[in-house]
Amino acid sequence: MVQKSVYKISSMRQETPDTVSFVLSGAAIEFLCGQFVMIHYPLELAGKHGASEKDLAEGKPVKRAYSIASSSVRGLKGEIELCVKAMPDGWISKLLQEVKLGQVLEVSGPFGRFTFDPLKDKDIVMLAAGSGIAPMHAMIEQICLGDHKDVKGHLIFSNKVESDIIYRKVFDKFACDNSNVKISNTLTRCADGSSWDGSEGRINFKMLSEICGDSLVSESKVFFICGPSVFVKSMRECLEELGVSKENVRFESYG
């Protein structure tokens, strides 16, 4: 049986109009950045929407996977940060937009093989779209708070519009204070006349080459991809086209 632990919401922040981040405080937890936890949302709070008759009868909590968005440095202090984007017509992702300070949630984990180990992975490129930023935030925080100055981390973050960029200020500060961390934001829908000076359009072969320069393919460079399945698929194809070996590509698809 999966072991569950009880955590309390100790802080929360509205990151963008449809995304919140919140910190769960409780027992110290060991994990590798990139892993996820399961949130067991109580059925009595979730309401009937989406629950099967069987689950309703048994009163089973509703489970959803969320990547840990904070470093293992904070995990050891009993903190897990999550970053949840409300899905259109989604059930639990919408309820989690309205969590309250002090609310208790059951958590199990950590799970997953999408992992970053700063003692082995010394040169990483992170390709994220939307809420796929959560594990990348954990990795960058690990590099900075864990004082891994020998690890080079480059995040390429794709969003539709500027107001969708999650953790923007936090990332700018990490990059400003840590010369080994680089952030490149890209937008797929840039408004006419906007002052956006980053890359525009979907991330593709050409954009990746321009942003990363000619150092893109190297035996030691590891690529992490996270986001919706269409994004993950297209990034994997793009890296294959660029000649990146499969062993150097790790990915997590949010379905």
Question: Where along the sequence are the contacts to ligand FAD (CB under 6 A)?
Answer: 36, 50, 64-67, 83-85, 87-94, 131, 134, 252, 254-255
Smallest separation, CB 147 to ligand FAD (Å) = 25
Residue 159: closest CA among 129, 203, 194 = 129
231 Cβ neighbours under 8 A, 6+ residues apart: 129, 130, 132, 158, 225
Smallest separation, CB 71 to ligand FAD (Å) = 15
Half-sphere exposure of 92 (CA within 13 A, CB side): 17
Cis peptide before 88 (omega within 30 of 0): no
Smallest separation, CB 37 to ligand FAD (Å) = 9
Q: Write phi, then psi, for 126 (nearest 5 degrees).
A: -110, 125
Identify residue 216 by its one-letter amino acid code: L
In the complex with ligand FAD, which residue's Cβ is closer, 41 or 174? 41
Smallest separation, CB 74 to ligand FAD (Å) = 16
Residues in a beta bridge with 153: 124, 181
In the complex with ligand FAD, which residue's Cβ is closer, 39 or 207? 39
Yes or no: say if 92 and 46 are a contact pair by the CB < 8 Å rule: yes
Smallest separation, CB 220 to ligand FAD (Å) = 26
Smallest separation, CB 226 to ligand FAD (Å) = 8
Q: Using alpha carbons, list the distances in angstroms from residue 114 to 55, 144, 149, 187.
A: 30, 20, 22, 25
Q: Helix 229-241 to helix 205-212 angle, to the nearest 10 degrees?
A: 70
In the complex with ligand FAD, which residue's Cβ is closer, 20 or 208? 20
Residue nearest to ligand FAD (CB): 90
Yes or no: say if 78 and 28 are a contact pair by the CB < 8 Å rule: yes
Residue 28 three-state SS: coil
In the complex with ligand FAD, which residue's Cβ is closer, 88 or 102? 88
Residue 29: closest CA among 110, 94, 97, 89 = 110
Whose structure tokens read 């700018």? 172
In the complex with ligand FAD, which residue's Cβ is closer, 134 or 225? 134
In the complex with ligand FAD, which residue's Cβ is closer, 208 or 225? 225
Smallest separation, CB 159 to ligand FAD (Å) = 14
Whose structure tokens read 């997953």? 112
In the complex with ligand FAD, which residue's Cβ is closer, 221 or 236? 236
